[in-house]
């Protein structure tokens, strides 16, 4: 497995590997999990969202792709 590229000091997170220069983690919690993508060692240098929101994020990502395609057609 990959090794973390950046410092991450949360004892509740489990390292999942690297992806596109990000360290991926899952933060385990009693009620829901959060996925984390760290891109630096400083406190705020990460992206995160509750794991149950991933479907919504994927839908919004598809909207971004379609928008880009619409406005870049010649």
Q: Would 50 be classed as within a structural domain?
A: yes
Q: Would 27 be classed as within a structural domain?
A: yes
Q: Would 23 be classed as within a structural domain?
A: yes
Q: Are 35 and 26 in contact (CB under 8 A)?
A: yes
Per-residue model confidence (pLDDT) at position 28: 85
Work out how many domains the chain is built from and give that number. Answer: 1
- By residue range, what is the domain housing residue 39? 13-72
**60/56 Cα distance (integer angstroms):** 6
- Model confidence over 3-38: pLDDT tens digits? 999 999 999 999 999 999 999 999 988 888 899 999
Q: Are 52 and 32 in contact (CB under 8 A)?
A: yes
At 4, phi and psi to the nearest 5?
-60, 140
Half-sphere exposure at residue 52, Cβ-oriented, CA atoms within 13 angstroms: 5
- Model confidence over 36-62: pLDDT tens digits? 999 999 999 999 988 877 767 777 777
């Amino acid at each position: 497995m990959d090794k973390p590229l950046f410092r991450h000091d949360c004892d509740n997170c489990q390292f999942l590997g690297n992806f596109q220069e990000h360290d991926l983690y899952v933060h385990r919690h009693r009620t829901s999990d959060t996925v984390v993508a760290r891109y630096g060692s400083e406190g705020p240098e990460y992206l995160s969202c509750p794991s149950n929101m991933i479907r919504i994020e994927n839908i919004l990502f598809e909207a971004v792709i379609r928008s880009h395609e619409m406005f870049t057609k010649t």
